[in-house]
A and B are shown apart, each in its own frame.
Chain A
Amino acid sequence: MNVFTCEDNLESKLTCIYTAWEKAIKVGHSNVRLEVEPIYMSNLFDEYTHVEADNIKAQKVSNSINSKISPDVYISVYYALLSNEDDALDSAYRFLINAFKVGNNAIFAINTPENMRMMELRRRVGNEIHSFVEFLRFHSINNQVYIGHIEPKADVIELVGRHFDDRMPSENWMIIDDNRRYAVVHPKDGDNYIKQLSSEEFERLRQTEGIDDVYTEMWRAFFDAIAIKERANRRCQMNHIPLWMRKHAVEFQG
């Protein structure tokens, strides 16, 4: 088995698909596998090749999916590549084998395991984006800039940022992925951009979450007042907001 491995980012993953595909033309798709680094358990019988990100190859993959299959299939692949699930990269590859054969219908023909898995991955990542659109909380720094911290499982911060670009175009704000340590930055009336954070920047920005103001307090007061005690339903509340998402929602703290 030829195993192709790459770093955990979109460009690397697309390049990895390109490289594995090239090899598969000679040895067959069933003899290649794709994995995201770090690799914890390597197998003696497998041959591992690290693939370095290559912008041109990544572009080629994205272009050919978009033009030869369909933009919708590309969106599915794109979402899967944002996922942090172990098999996501390889699953995207398997799905593409199928999609290059049957075209856009691969999205609907979910009675094959590859296509079904793809639908699941797309749905999960989509749900995660939606959840952060709902549960992200901004902290106001002197009414000048609004900072929000999240710890998403999938790499969704850029897509979450798109929502807020439309929602708050004329404010300064920033959304930070605390695990991946990078941020989507939105300057007032400007465009979103991605910024990798140095440890010093990250530490400073981390403090912002401790800042409560009168509105944080009032929000908590509202949150308590609006519940009807005769209908209390903790389980239902739990099902809707899992604990790991509550971590940054101020109404569940303090």
Chain B
Amino acid sequence: MRTYVRKRIDSANKCSYNVYMSNIISGFTTKEKLEILADAAKYDVACTSSGVDRKGKKGELGNSKACGICHSFAADGRCISLLKVLMTNHCVYDCKYCINRRSNDVPRAAFEPEELCNLVIEFYKRNYIEGLFFSSGVMVSPDYTSEKMCETLLLLRTKYHFNGYIHVKTIPGTSDELIAKIGLLADRISVNLELPTAESLKELAPNKNFSKILDPMEKISDTIAAHRLAIGKDARMERANINRYLDNSIFNSRMTIDGEKVKAIGDGRENIGLSRSVNNKTDYTALVPQGKQGGDLKRPFAPAGQSTQMIIGATPESDLTLLETTQRLYQAYDLKRVFFSAYIPINEDKALPAIGTAPPLLREHRLYQADWLLRYYGFQAKELLTEQRPFFNEQIDPKCDWAVRHLEAFPVEVKTASYDVLLRVPGIGPKSAMRIINSRRYGALSFESLKRMGVVLKRAHYFITCNGKMMFKTRIEEDYITSRLADSESKENWRIAHQNEQFHQMTLFETYGAMSS
């Protein structure tokens, strides 16, 4: 039956001839390549299809929704939105933390451009994916590889009329010209910072250096800004609406970095610790030359913006360093997202945690929560952590952590507190804060109605009064509240930190369950 179906598909599919020819040459079937190249790509965390709204068009396949669409959840609980694969996992570099490094003995494969296009199109039509997350190991040289990637993208956008989402992770060392081409074909571009300091990067990625990463990041950022200006948009990326109500937001144009005003993109870079060695006077806004690029394609340059990723736990940086770097990337490079990836020891190396060391999942979780506090709650990195206290208390979430250290600001009265003040209360989020503001104009609030508006009273009750009263008589004392909050989160914390063991228990349970029935 299967072979019958396969034959029928072959005859119906014009491109399958090429695909099968190339498989004969490499010795792998497309399915085997997919397994190898998805497996090799899985450590990249970004899989979101968000950031750009684009309507579909007759004659084309696909659209894009700014909110992002997830299509499935893998066994690790991570969302699958994009076909996340490498063009190839051949690599001439030898980054210590990477499964694909030259010195590892792993099966290597490469997609043919048409072969990958087919996969994207057929997966997309079946509603398996929102698009492609495209990255690669370095085959021959950065430019050789990027050229191949460009060829694939151009085919996908022109011959295959693909109008869905594409995220490209660029390869450090790629020429400006190729990055410019990629930017016109992709929706989002990322350059992975990998590690938050130049020293760590030098230690773990001998073929990379900070300027090779920050330089393209800056050029991409400037090019996106120039393109946005050219079509009448604000130079800086759109941010969640909520930031307009938050004076303290890192996205507020009046906001400062370490006391220096950020006037425009590019300002403030000198004192961000990510300083570049390149001459600042060079005009980078022209990464994309005037005139036509990529055939007749009229596409905006990376309309969903730029993102990056940092590895957590392979090097000694503090949460403060990571979070400050994150804030600076948002402010100075106008990145749309910064992702964190708990380091999973896969390679034996003196410079790295030993194989079998548990990945710092709870720490990663806290950093993501803190990242949300920067992007949606109007917090600054320096408010959340200090030089004296550079790590989060992993047992409670960063907002609770902040609140218990600022008890002088509480309790707040929900009937009268302003939006930004409500938002700083643990257990109150952007939505519930907005519901409180909207509804209190029309009638009285009670703890019961707060609960129905989505306020998590379990956390919030230490920090609010409603009509002048607290919900319970409770001690307002840092250590006491901290321990109560940690208690109420302990189950969840344990789950995050031990998700892996739990999985084994679950599978065992499922296996035995299935056997007995």
Contacts and interface: CB of A to CB of B under 8 A. Distances in A.
B332 to A, nearest CB: 31
A232 B56 contact: no
A215 B57 CA distance: 25
Interface in B478-517: 495, 499-500, 502-504, 506-507
A135 B453 contact: no
B122 interface: yes
Give the most central of B8, B62, B439: most A CB within 10 Å: B439
Interface string B1-38: 01001101100110000000000000000110011001
> Chain B at the A interface: mostly helix, strand, loop or mixed?
mixed
Interface in A219-250: 219, 221-237, 240-241, 249
Given A110-B439, A148-B127, A232-B503, A217 B31 contact: yes
Interface in B38-56: 38-39, 41-43, 55-56
25 contacts: A111-B444, A116-B452, A134-B69, A135-B72, A137-B127, A143-B12, A143-B13, A165-B56, A168-B61, A170-B58, A170-B60, A171-B125, A213-B9, A216-B126, A218-B30, A222-B34, A222-B83, A227-B76, A230-B344, A231-B76, A231-B78, A231-B342, A231-B499, A234-B502, A240-B70
A179 interface: no
Nearest to A117: B452
B83 A235 contact: no
A75 interface: no
Nearest to A188: B58
Contacts of B472: none
A223 B435 contact: no
A136 B503 contact: no
Interface string B61-89: 11100000111111111111001100000
Given A225-B42, A234-B503, A237-B74, A138 B125 contact: yes
Contacts of B80: 223, 226
B419 interface: no
A241 B72 CA distance: 8
B442 A108 contact: yes
B450 to A, nearest CB: 10
A109 interface: yes
Contacts of B41: 226
B6 A214 contact: yes
Given A232-B503, A234-B502, A234-B503, A225 B35 contact: yes
A112 interface: yes
A110 B444 CA distance: 11
Nearest to A228: B76
Contact of B42 (A110, A213, A226, A237): A226
A133 interface: yes
A142 B34 contact: no
Nearest to A219: B128
Interface string A176-213: 00000000000001000000000000000000000111
- The size class of the interface chain B forms with chain A is 35 or more
A225 B34 contact: yes
Contacts of A237: 73-77
A240 B294 CA distance: 39
Given A108-B439, A111-B444, A214-B6, A235 B502 contact: yes
B456 interface: no
A111 B6 contact: no
B185 interface: no
B42 A227 contact: yes
B34 A221 contact: yes
A229 B70 CA distance: 20
A240 B128 contact: no
Contacts of B73: 236-237, 240-241
B77 A230 contact: no
Contacts of B98: none
A138 B126 contact: yes
Given A214-B9, A230-B359, A110 B500 contact: no
A169 interface: yes
A220 to B, nearest CB: 10
Contacts of B91: none
B74 A223 contact: yes
Contacts of A223: 72, 74, 80
A222 to B, nearest CB: 5
A8 interface: no
B127 A136 contact: yes
B123 A215 contact: yes
B119 A218 contact: yes
B295 interface: no
A166 B58 CA distance: 9
A231 B495 CA distance: 11
Contacts of A140: 122, 125-126
Give the most central of A139, A216, A227: most B CB within 10 Å: A227
Contact of B125 (A142, A168, A217, A227): A168
Q: Considering the complex of A and B, which 7 residue pairs feature the smallest CB-CB distances, nearest first?
A: A236-B77, A232-B503, A233-B77, A109-B442, A108-B438, A227-B74, A233-B499
